C-alpha cells in the first residue's frame, strides 16, 4: 500500500483517538481485508484486489506461478504477456485455441515414412511413433492449457501401454486425441468417449464381455447316479464396472461438499457402492466388441487399425432385463428392442454423471493435479459447485471450461498468502519438471521437428505418458509419506514415486538435459544413422541468459531464472549460494577482437569458445535452480 495512504489511514485513526499507530505495525492486505471497503479511480476495475490476498494481479511472479499450474511452465515472454493480458482473458484465449494437429495423423505419417523407406506397406504402430508425435505436439503447439488438462485427465482416466494392447501407438494416439478434445467439452461426453474407446475396453477387460450364461453338460460319474447334469455359470466381467465408479466418477465413500467422507451410524465411512452394485453395472458393460468386428467374441479384422474406431455393442450378447443402479435408479427391461444395449449404457453413465459425488471427487483430483495436494474444504466445495452448474462461469452441469476456471481462478489458488504457506502447494511431478525445462528455454531444432522417444526420461524419472504401472496412476491421491506429512494428516501424492532411484535419476537426468540435449537417439528403422535426422536434434535456447553470464550480471541472471522457473520463491540464502558457486566457475571475458586483431577466423573461433564457456555457466545456474527445494515444491 502506498505510503501516503498509510499516513492518511493513521491520521484518521489518531483523530478517532486510536493508539495503534504508536509503535505498532498495521498490515492491510494479504488477506487482512475484513470490513474494509475499497474504491478505485479507474471505474473499469475493482479496488478490492488492492487489499485482498491476491494483491495486484497479475504481476510477473504471480503470472509465472499461474502458468506453472495452467501449463507445463512458461518462458519469459509468456510471463510478460500474461501480466498485461490478465488471467481470465488468458484462459478464454486458450479455450479458443484449436487442437494443433491430430496425434493419430502424426503417427500415421511416421508409419507411412517408414514404409516408404523400407518399401513395406503395412501398419506397424510402434510405440515410439506415439512418443515422437506426443513430443512434437507439446513442443510446437500453443494450446498450453489444453495440453496440461489432457495430462491430468490421462492420470484420471488411466490406460497404460503395460496392457493387453501393448505399446500400440494407434491405441494410445486415438485415446490422447480424445483427451485433448474432451478437456474443454463436458465431463459426461468425456465419460462416454472413454467408455466406448477400444483401448479402455482392452485395458479393463470388458472387450467381448459376455452376458450371464448357463452351460449344461453331462458329468459322467463313476458312482450312482450316472450321467448327472452339471451347470456352469458364466458371469459378466466386473473390472470396468468397479473402476468406472471407484476411479473415474464417484470414489469409494459418499462425500460431503468439502471432500470429506460421510459416516454411517457406526462412524464408518459410508460406501458409495457394494458388490451387488458392481454386479449390476457389470451387466451394463456386456456385449461390447471391436468397432470393426463382424461378430461378437472374436478379434478384429485388423488388430492394428481397430483402435481407430469406437467399440460397438451387440444386443444379442448384452445382458437383458432390469438393472438396479445407484440411488434407486432402475434400468428398465427393454425387451431386447433394437439398440437397447446402447440405451442401457446411456442410462448407467447418466446415473454416474448425476451422482452428487462426481463434482467433489473429480474436482479434488484435478485441484491436486494442477494446484495443491491439500485443498481446503471450501476450495473443493466451490469447484464442485462449478461442476454442478452453480457458478459465475456456467449453469451447465459438467461444463469442463467452467470447471477449469473454478480451479485456476479460485481465491485459494491465486492467494499470495497461500504461496508462502508451508503446507500449501505440491511436489512437482518429475515428468512435469522435464516439460517445464523444455518450455522455459524454447526447446527447438533447425527444422522445427523434434524427435524424442522419452525412453531415457522414463528410466530416470519412472514417469512418462501412458506408462502407469496400474490403473491407479503413478501415485494415488491419498498417499501419505511417513513422517511430518503423515503426522500433520496431510497427503503428498507425488512422493509415492519419490525414492532413492527417482531422486538420483532426476539429478542425473537434469544434468543430461541441461548440458546435453532433450532428444532420445532413436532411429525409425534398423540402420538409420543420427545424421539422417540431424535436423530434428533439439537444444535449449539460452541466448537471452547468456547476456547475463558476466560476474556483474549474476544477480540479474538469478532474478530471471527465479522468475521463470521458481516464480520468485527462491530464498535469499539459495540465491546467494548459487551466485557463489557461479563466481567460482571461470568466466571467459576475453576481448576476442583485440586479442586476434586482423585474424577473422581466430576471432570467430574465440567468440564460439566464449559462448560455449559462458553457456556452461548459465546451464550450471539452471541446474542448481531446478535442484533447489523451493523449485521442487511448487507453491
Q: Is the pLDDT of residue 65 over 50?
A: yes
pLDDT for 9 beyond 60: no
Beta bridge partner(s), residue 363: none
pLDDT tens digit sequence for 17-59 = 444 444 555 555 555 556 677 666 655 556 666 555 555 557 9
Lowest mean pLDDT among 11-20, 119-128, 140-149, 307-316: 11-20
- The whole-number pLDDT of residue 124 equals 77
Query: What is the model's pLDDT at position 530?
Result: 58
**Using one digit for the tens of pLDDT, what is the confidence trace for 368-422?**
999 999 999 999 999 999 999 999 999 999 999 999 999 999 999 999 788 788 8
Return d(Cα 407, Cα 87) in angstroms, integer: 12
| pLDDT tens for each residue of 425-457 | 999 999 999 999 999 999 999 899 998 999 999
Closest Cα partner for 134 from 164, 107, 167? 107
Write out pLDDT tens, residues 482-516. Answer: 999 999 999 999 999 999 999 999 999 999 999 98
Output the pLDDT for position 224. 57
C-alpha to C-alpha distance for 63 and 79, rounded to whole angstroms: 6
**DSSP classification of residue 588:** -
Cis peptide before 58 (omega within 30 of 0): yes
Closest CA relative to residue 430, chosen from 484, 375, 467, 472 = 467
User: Which helix (DSSP H) or strand (DSSP E) does residue 233 occupy?
Assistant: strand 228-234
All 3 cell numbers of residue 99? Answer: 487442437
Among 5-9, 108-112, 288-292, 562-566, name the one with the lowest average pLDDT. Answer: 5-9
Summary mean pLDDT of the chain = 89
Tell me the sheet residues that pair with 217: 230
CB atoms within 10 A of CB 275: 9
CA distance 43 to 61: 26
Crossing angle for the helix pair 377-387 and 358-370, to the nearest 10 degrees: 120
Question: Residue 385, CB half-sphere, CA atoms under 13 Å: how many?
Answer: 14
Least confident of 181-190, 198-207, 360-369, 515-524: 515-524
Measured between alpha carbons, how far is 64 from 75 in angstroms, rounded to an integer?
9
Are 277 and 326 contacting, i.e. CB atoms less than 8 angstroms apart?
yes
Interatomic CA distance for residues 494 and 499, integer angstroms: 11
Across 21-25, 248-252, 507-511, 618-622, least confident range? 21-25
Q: Which of 199, 162, 202, 200 is nearest to 307 (CA)?
A: 199
pLDDT at 52: 58
Reading the block at residue 416, the C-alpha cell is 499470495
Angle between helix axes 239-246 and 187-196 (nearest 10 degrees) is 160
State phi, psi for 466 to the nearest 5 degrees.
65, 30
Q: How far apart, in whole angstroms, are the C-alpha atoms of residue 252 and residue 245?
A: 8
- Percentage of the chain with pLDDT > 70? 86
Q: Can you spell out the DSSP letters for 403-414?
A: HHHHHHHSHHHH
Least confident of 24-33, 300-309, 486-495, 548-557: 24-33
The cell numbers describing 162, all together, are 503395460
Please report, for residues 159, 177, 303, 312, 565, the alpha-carbon distance to residue 197 in angstroms, rounded to integers and kept in the order given.
Answer: 11, 11, 14, 10, 37
Residue 435 neighbours by CB distance under 10 Å: 23
pTM: 0.89
Mean pLDDT of 301-318: 92
pLDDT of residue 214: 72
pLDDT higher than 80, residue 217: no
> What cell numbers appear for 251 in the block?
470414489
Residues 6+ apart with CB under 8 A from 554: 548, 579, 582, 583
pLDDT at 267 over 90: yes
Model pLDDT, residue 172:
97
Q: Which residues of 78-109 are buried (b: 16+ CB within 10 A; e: fewer)?
A: bbeebbeeebeebbeebeeeebbebbbebbbe
Q: What's the pLDDT score for residue 537?
A: 84
Q: What is the pLDDT of residue 14?
A: 37
Residues 6 or more apart from 276 whose CB is under 8 A from it?
324
Query: Per-residue b/e over 115-141, b at no fewer than 16 CB within 10 Å?
Result: eeeeeeeeeebbbbbbbbbbbbbbbeb
Q: What is the mean pLDDT of residues 231-244?
A: 90
Q: Are 204 and 173 in contact (CB under 8 A)?
A: no
Q: Are 587 and 549 a contacting pair, CB within 8 Å?
A: yes
The pLDDT score that the predictor gives to residue 45 is 55
Any idea where the domains of the chain sit in the sequence?
Answer: 1-52, 554-635
Amino acid at each position: 500500500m502506498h505510503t501516503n495512504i498509510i499516513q492518511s489511514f493513521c491520521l484518521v485513526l489518531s483523530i478517532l483517538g486510536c493508539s495503534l499507530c504508536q509503535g505498532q505495525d498495521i498490515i492491510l492486505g494479504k488477506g487482512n481485508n475484513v470490513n474494509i471497503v475499497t474504491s478505485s479511480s479507474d471505474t473499469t476495475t475493482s479496488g478490492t484486489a488492492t487489499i485482498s490476498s491476491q494483491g495486484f494481479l497479475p504481476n510477473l511472479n504471480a503470472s509465472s506461478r499461474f502458468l506453472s499450474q495452467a501449463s507445463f511452465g512458461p518462458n519469459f515472454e509468456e510471463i510478460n504477456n500474461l501480466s498485461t493480458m490478465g488471467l481470465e482473458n488468458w484462459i478464454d484465449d486458450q479455450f479458443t485455441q484449436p487442437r494443433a494437429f491430430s496425434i493419430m495423423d502424426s503417427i500415421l505419417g511416421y508409419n507411412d515414412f517408414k514404409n516408404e523407406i523400407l518399401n513395406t506397406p503395412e501398419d506397424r504402430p510402434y510405440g515410439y511413433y506415439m512418443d515422437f508425435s506426443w513430443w512434437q505436439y507439446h513442443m510446437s503447439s500453443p494450446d498450453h492449457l489444453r495440453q496440461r488438462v489432457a495430462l491430468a485427465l490421462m492420470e484420471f482416466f488411466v490406460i497404460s501401454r503395460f496392457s493387453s494392447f501393448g505399446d500400440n501407438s494407434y491405441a494410445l494416439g486415438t485415446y490422447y486425441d480424445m483427451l485433448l478434445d474432451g478437456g474443454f467439452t463436458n465431463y459426461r461426453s468425456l465419460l462416454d468417449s472413454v467408455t466406448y474407446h477400444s483401448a479402455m475396453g482392452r485395458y479393463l477387460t470388458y472387450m467381448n464381455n459376455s452376458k450371464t450364461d448357463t452351460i449344461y453338460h453331462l458329468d459322467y460319474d463313476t458312482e450312482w447316479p450316472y450321467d448327472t447334469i452339471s451347470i456352469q455359470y458364466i458371469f459378466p466381467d466386473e473390472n470396468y464396472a468397479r473402476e468406472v465408479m471407484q476411479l473415474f466418477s464417484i470414489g469409494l465413500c459418499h462425500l460431503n461438499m468439502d471432500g470429506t467422507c460421510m459416516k454411517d451410524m457406526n462412524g464408518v465411512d459410508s460406501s458409495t457402492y457394494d458388490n451387488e452394485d458392481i454386479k449390476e453395472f457389470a451387466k451394463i458393460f456386456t456385449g461390447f466388441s471391436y468397432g470393426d468386428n463382424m461378430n461378437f467374441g472374436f478379434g478384429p479384422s485388423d488388430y492394428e487399425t481397430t483402435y481407430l474406431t469406437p467399440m460397438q455393442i451387440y444386443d444379442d450378447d448384452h445382458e437383458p432385463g432390469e438393472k438396479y443402479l445407484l440411488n434407486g435408479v432402475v434400468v428398465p427391461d427393454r425387451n431386447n428392442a433394437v439398440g437397447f444395449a446402447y440405451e442401457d449404457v446411456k442410462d448407467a453413465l447418466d446415473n454416474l454423471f448425476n451422482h452428487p459425488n462426481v463434482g467433489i471427487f473429480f474436482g479434488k483430483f484435478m485441484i491436486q493435479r494442477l494446484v495443491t495436494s491439500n485443498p481446503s474444504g471450501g476450495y473443493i466445495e466451490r469447484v464442485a459447485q462449478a461442476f454442478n452448474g452453480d457458478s459465475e462461469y456456467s449453469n451447465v452441469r459438467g461444463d469442463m471450461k467452467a470447471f477449469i476456471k473454478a480451479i485456476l481462478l479460485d481465491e485459494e489458488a491465486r492467494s499470495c498468502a497461500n504461496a508462502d504457506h508451508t503446507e500449501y502447494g505440491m511436489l512437482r511431478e518429475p515428468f512435469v519438471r522435464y516439460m517445464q525445462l523444455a518450455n522455459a528455454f524454447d526447446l527447438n531444432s533447425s527444422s522445427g521437428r523434434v524427435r524424442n522417444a522419452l525412453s531415457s526420461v522414463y528410466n530416470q524419472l519412472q514417469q512418462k505418458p501412458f506408462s502407469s504401472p496400474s490403473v491407479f496412476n503413478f501415485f494415488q491421491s491419498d498417499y501419505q509419506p511417513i513422517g511430518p506429512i503423515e503426522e500433520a494428516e496431510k497427503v503428498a501424492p507425488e512422493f509415492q514415486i519419490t525414492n532413492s532411484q527417482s531422486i538420483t535419476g532426476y539429478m542425473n537426468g537434469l544434468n543430461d538435459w541441461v548440458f546435453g540435449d532433450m532428444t532420445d537417439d532413436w532411429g525409425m528403422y534398423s540402420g538409420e544413422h543420427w545424421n539422417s535426422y540431424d535436423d530434428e536434434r533439439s537444444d535449449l535456447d539460452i541466448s537471452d541468459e547468456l547476456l547475463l553470464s558476466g560476474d556483474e550480471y549474476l544477480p540479474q541472471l538469478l532474478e530471471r531464472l527465479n522468475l521463470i522457473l521458481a516464480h520468485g520463491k527462491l530464498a535469499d540464502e539459495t540465491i546467494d549460494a548459487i551466485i557463489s558457486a557461479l563466481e567460482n566457475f571461470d568466466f571467459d571475458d576475453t576481448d576476442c577482437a583485440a586479442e586476434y586483431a586482423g585474424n577473422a577466423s581466430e576471432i570467430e573461433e574465440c567468440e564460439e569458445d566464449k559462448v560455449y564457456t559462458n553457456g556452461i555457466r548459465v546451464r550450471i545456474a539452471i541446474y542448481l535452480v531446478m535442484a533447489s527445494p523451493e523449485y521442487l515444491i511448487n507453491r
